[in-house]
C-alpha cells in the first residue's frame, strides 16, 4: 500500500518532520521564505495532506490544485487564511494549533510589566 504524500509549505521543527516520515512520504519547502502562489499550487498537487502557515492562502484555488487532499493542518494559532466554508463544502478536515501561544503571551505581558517603575 502506498504511503500518504504530505507537503509542508515551510520548515517546521525537525521532530515534527521525523514523526511524519514514520508513516508518510514528506516533501518540505526548504527555502526560508513563504512560497509564491504558483509554487504553493504546484507543490500541493497529488498530496493527501498539507501542513502550512498563515502566509498560505487556502481557498478554492488551493483545493482545486490539491484535488484529493484528505486534510490540511495550519501550523498557526489562527485560521484567517483558510476558506473554512470551501473546506467544509469539499469535506476536507482542517486543523490549527490553538493555545500554543497562551503561555508565551502571558509571560511576555509579565516581562513587559516588570521593568516599569513604581508609581507613587
Mean per-residue pLDDT of the chain: 91
Q: Domain-by-domain residue ranges, the chain?
A: 5-113
Domain spanning 5-113: CATH superfamily: NAD(P)-binding Rossmann-like Domain (3.40.50.720)
Distance of CA 48 to the CA centre of its chain: 14
Residues of the chain with pLDDT under 50: none
- CA end-to-end span of the chain: 72
pLDDT at position 1:
79
Residue 49 burial by Cβ neighbours in a 10 Å radius (0-12, 13-18, 19+): buried
Main-chain phi, psi angles of 48, to 5 degrees = -85, -25
DSSP, collapsed to helix, strand or coil, labels residue 42 as helix
Amino acid at each position: 500500500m502506498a504511503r500518504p504524500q504530505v507537503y509542508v509549505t515551510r520548515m517546521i521543527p525537525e521532530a515534527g518532520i521525523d514523526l511524519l516520515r514514520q508513516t508518510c512520504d514528506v516533501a518540505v519547502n526548504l527555502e526560508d521564505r513563504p512560497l509564491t502562489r504558483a509554487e504553493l499550487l504546484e507543490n500541493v498537487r497529488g498530496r493527501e495532506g498539507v501542513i502550512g502557515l498563515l502566509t498560505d492562502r487556502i481557498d478554492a484555488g488551493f483545493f482545486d490544485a490539491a484535488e484529493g487532499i484528505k486534510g490540511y493542518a495550519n501550523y498557526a494559532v489562527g485560521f484567517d487564511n483558510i476558506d473554512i466554508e470551501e473546506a467544509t463544502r469539499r469535506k476536507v478536515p482542517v486543523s490549527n494549533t490553538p493555545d500554543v501561544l497562551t503561555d508565551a503571551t502571558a509571560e511576555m505581558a509579565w516581562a513587559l510589566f516588570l521593568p516599569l517603575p513604581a508609581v507613587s
